[in-house]
Amino acid sequence: MRAGQAASRRVSVSKRDVSMVPSVSAVANCVAFVLKGYPRLSETFIAQEILALERRGLEILIVSLRHPTDRTTHPVHQLIRSALLYLPEYLYQEPRRVWRGWLRSRRRSGYRTARRAWFADLQRDPTPNRMRRFGQALVLAAELPENVNHLHAHFLHTPASVARYAALIMGLSWTVSAHAKDIWTIPVWEKRAKLAEADWVVTCTEAGRSHLASLAPRHNKVALCYHGLDLERFPAAPPRWKGSDGSDPEHPVVLLSVGRLVVKKGYEDLLAALALLSPDLEWRFVHIGGGALRNALLHQAARFGLSHKIEWRGALAQPDVLASYRRADLFVLASKVVKDGDRDGLPNVLIEAQSQRLVCVATDVSGIPELIENEVTGVLVPPNDPVELSQAISALIRDPARRAAMGAAGERRVRDNFAMRSGIDVLAMRFGLLPANRQAISLDDASQPRQDTHRTGEYAVLHVSGFPSRGVLAPQHSGK
């Protein structure tokens, strides 16, 4: 009997059976978390949430609509023990699996209700993406272990669509965490439908909460739940030296930004702002993150004559990002709202940077003013304004004492008001967990990668190389 196509090419499996591997079906109740992709370097906030809820006693099955594309992972991913089920990324790649999903799902009493809901959506959104989501929902409903009694989606767009259709087929409850792009880019009719059917909704900014609450059948159906920061993984930074004022070529002021190279992050505006800095200032800029705009931004930097001052480091694991925060003098993020409405929520990199006593210059977009108090814990400027952004950067480059004072104030605010535990308490209560034991999460708990299998009924729990104590549920095909 061979593992089916659901097992990614990235999954390595040995023939040894390990009885110590926790079986998903052995637990009385389990929540399936439906994610767009897993693991992802840019979604550490989801990984820290899953780990914290595991430590609170919640049994989780991670359902991923896509296979991973990042070449590395964060240490927090190594600690997660939840089993993992990859759905067909594209239906044509696994037609037999989709066919079996339809054959099984159509026998369920909720199938007709789900099909009607999907068809109504398809009439308003006649796209291949809409068809793919229903196919993924058929597979999910057919392959979901019997002990899963609830679905929870991260993101209100495609993951929530799959969770909604599958929940209708199975007769299960479902909920959703909304974030940023998913709130602002899907049509109002779709938001209203999902808000009406979900048991509850949480989102990570007050800006997002108020918008969704205005569309929900009950105002209190949508709750604010900041991701916050796992302070165990971001301990206080060691003392910083007083810093340069931009006048010494031997000690340039280090500007840092962490974020995907996509339009809403505003890196075109940031490069334009850097080009406006006075020639007498000594600085260098470090960027961490990947994205589709990388080549275009490299060319833009070359046109401005900035290439020799910029280091593009690409995507890095969290320990390297943390070290970069501690070496930098100033953090900059120029987020903006793009034409289709996409925007940031409350970028977690700002919280991370402030936790390391690093002063931030950012734009007053979406939930960012909920974190940064202008001229107290950082500096806010209007979006799409390279001139004001450049002036704010220049002023802080020249004033290390001001950087230090606002950096310290920002750290206090993060540690007092944006610790992860508050948000996890909200989620734990909604998932019906017992009060927290407040056990700290330590990266020392991570063990060495291993490769095993453990059978659970018609599934095999495949252990992914590099992901200890976590299974991948792959349906077992008989070859018929």
Do the beta carbons of residue 400 and residue 245 sit within 8 Å?
yes
Taking residue 433's Cβ as centre, other Cβ atoms within 10 Å add up to 15
Instruction: Measure the CA–CA gap between 200 and 184, rounded to whole angstroms.
Output: 19
Beta bridge partners of 154: 177
Res 363: pLDDT: 98
- Alpha-carbon distances of 468 from 49, 103, 430, rounded to whole Å: 18, 34, 28
Beta bridge partners of 203: 178, 224
Res 437: pLDDT: 53
Res 435: pLDDT: 60
Cα Rg of the chain, angstroms? 23
Beta bridge partners of 312: 287
Rounded to 5 degrees, what are φ and ψ at 222? -110, 125
Do the beta carbons of residue 227 and residue 420 sit within 8 Å?
yes
Residue 312 token pair = 């593009």
Instruction: Measure the CA–CA gap between 392 and 153, rounded to whole angstroms.
Output: 39
The answer to whether residue 320 scores a pLDDT higher than 90 is: yes
> Which of 139-148, 389-398, 428-437 comes out lowest in average pLDDT?
428-437
At 3 the three-state DSSP class reads strand
5-21: average pLDDT: 29
Taking residue 187's Cβ as centre, other Cβ atoms within 10 Å add up to 10
At 160 the three-state DSSP class reads helix
The answer to whether residue 434 scores a pLDDT higher than 80 is: no
**List of domains in the chain:** 2-228+419-477 (3.40.50.2000), 253-417 (3.40.50.2000)
Residue 473 token pair = 């549920």
The answer to whether residue 475 scores a pLDDT higher than 50 is: no
Beta bridge partners of 288: 258
Q: Any idea which residue has 């370097």 for tokens?
A: 41
Q: Look at 403 and 29; give whichever has higher pLDDT.
A: 403
227-238 pLDDT, tens per residue? 999 898 899 999
455-471: average pLDDT: 36
53-78: average pLDDT: 93
> Which of 238-252, 355-369, 439-453 comes out lowest in average pLDDT?
439-453
Side-by-side strand order, sheet with 360-363: 310-312, 283-288, 253-258, 330-333, 360-363, 379-381
Residue 445 token pair = 């708990």
Q: Any idea which residue has 């599934």 for tokens?
A: 459
Q: Look at 265 and 474; give whichever has higher pLDDT.
A: 265
Question: Which residues have C-beta within 8 Å of that of residue 20, sequence separation ≥ 6?
Answer: none
Closest CA to 410 of 345, 344, 323, 331: 331
What's the full length of the chain, in residues?
Answer: 480
> Which of 34-48, 263-277, 294-308, 395-409 comes out lowest in average pLDDT?
34-48
Instruction: Measure the CA–CA gap between 181 and 166, rounded to whole angstroms.
Output: 23
Residue 370 token pair = 């909920």
The answer to whether residue 187 scores a pLDDT higher than 80 is: yes
At 283 the three-state DSSP class reads strand
Q: Dihedral of the CA atoms 177, 181, 184, 189 (nearest 10)?
A: -60
